[in-house]
Chain A
Amino acid sequence: MTTQLEQARVRFLATLEIVRRELNVLKYSHEKLFSFSVDRAWVESLDNNMKAAETLEAFVSRFGRLQDTIGDKLIPRALTALAEHPGSMLDNLNKAERLHWLEDVNAWLSARELRNKLVHEYMTDENQFAKDINSSAQFYTMFHQVYLELLKVAEKNFGVTENELREYL
């Protein structure tokens, strides 16, 4: 019979593997998008460039999905696996910062706000949209950093390496 803590550990490791995969696909879209010079003219050209528009959509969508998976699932599940009690989103982020999983709660919330803006600005303000896309480029590193920190937790606390993660999903 598995204990609740064992179940929580498996759930955390499975979620870590999902985040590894989501990071991987975001990295692809990130590199592809920022191989373009994203400015107002580029945004305006998207109506006639569906391929680039799809790359942009993929980036925004993967960015949002990854942030949700880390914030809403991975961090609370990591806390549960370590026998801590997860709380509200903000409580969990603060705990993550205290445990050095996350460098700065403010930066995390900024990324979330920026991504909400990206979803809404697309059709209304090309100039601001181009700027916000460029601002969001910096957050890939933040997401990757959280993943690396939680991978350390997996290795140190549960003896599971990155290559072994896929066995949990």
Chain B
Amino acid sequence: MRLTEHQQKVIRKATKDVFGSSATVRLFGSRVDDSLRGGDIDLLVECLEPIEDAGQMSAKLVAQIQTRLGDQKIDVICTWPGSKRLSVHRSAIETGIVL
């Protein structure tokens, strides 16, 4: 996985600040692969309860991470029990690493 300890800590804390303490976050996509370089930070937020406004919450999370880690491309998708799962969600759950 290509995220420093500090980056992981910032992402974990921001996720809990925005989505609540029971939310967990998983890194997926190219940053999971140690043989690559650079790339977006793709995150899957997993919540126990349905999220009323996932778009606005995801935008808030991206903003919080960017203010702490600098301006970089971060993509956030969310899932909760019963939420609509696209192939990107399934693949993130299968291949992602919980931070």
**A residues touching B (Cβ–Cβ < 8 Å)?**
88-90, 105-114, 117, 121, 128, 131-132, 135
CB–CB B56/A107 < 8 A: no
Q: B residues 43-72 with Cβ under 8 Å of A?
A: 53-56, 58-60, 62-64, 66-67, 70-71
Q: 1/0 per position for B12-43, CB-CB distance to A under 8 A?
A: 00000000000000000000000000000000
Q: CA A107 – CA B70 in complex, angstroms?
A: 15
Q: CA A106 – CA B68 in complex, angstroms?
A: 10
Please indicate which of the listed interface residues A108, A110, A117 has the most CB atoms of chain B within 10 Å of its own CB.
Answer: A110
Interface residues in B, total, Cβ within 8 A: 14
Q: CA A132 – CA B60 in complex, angstroms?
A: 12
Cβ–Cβ < 8 Å partners of B64 in chain A: 106
CB–CB A128/B55 < 8 A: yes
Count of inter-chain pairs, beta carbons less than 8 A: 49
Q: CA A110 – CA B55 in complex, angstroms?
A: 10
Q: CA A150 – CA B60 in complex, angstroms?
A: 25
CB–CB A131/B55 < 8 A: yes
CB–CB A135/B67 < 8 A: no
Q: CA A117 – CA B70 in complex, angstroms?
A: 20
CB–CB A89/B55 < 8 A: no
List 21 A-B residue pairs with CB atoms under 8 Å apart, sorted by A's residue number.
Answer: A88-B71, A105-B67, A106-B60, A106-B63, A108-B63, A109-B63, A109-B66, A109-B67, A110-B56, A110-B59, A110-B62, A112-B63, A113-B59, A113-B62, A114-B56, A128-B54, A128-B55, A131-B53, A131-B54, A131-B55, A135-B55
CB–CB A113/B63 < 8 A: yes
Cβ–Cβ < 8 Å partners of B54 in chain A: 128, 131
Residue of B nearest to A127 (CB): B84
Cβ–Cβ < 8 Å partners of B59 in chain A: 110-111, 113-114, 117, 135
Known: A109-B62, A110-B56, A117-B59. 9 other contacts (CB 8 A): A89-B71, A105-B63, A109-B67, A110-B62, A111-B59, A113-B63, A121-B55, A131-B53, A132-B56
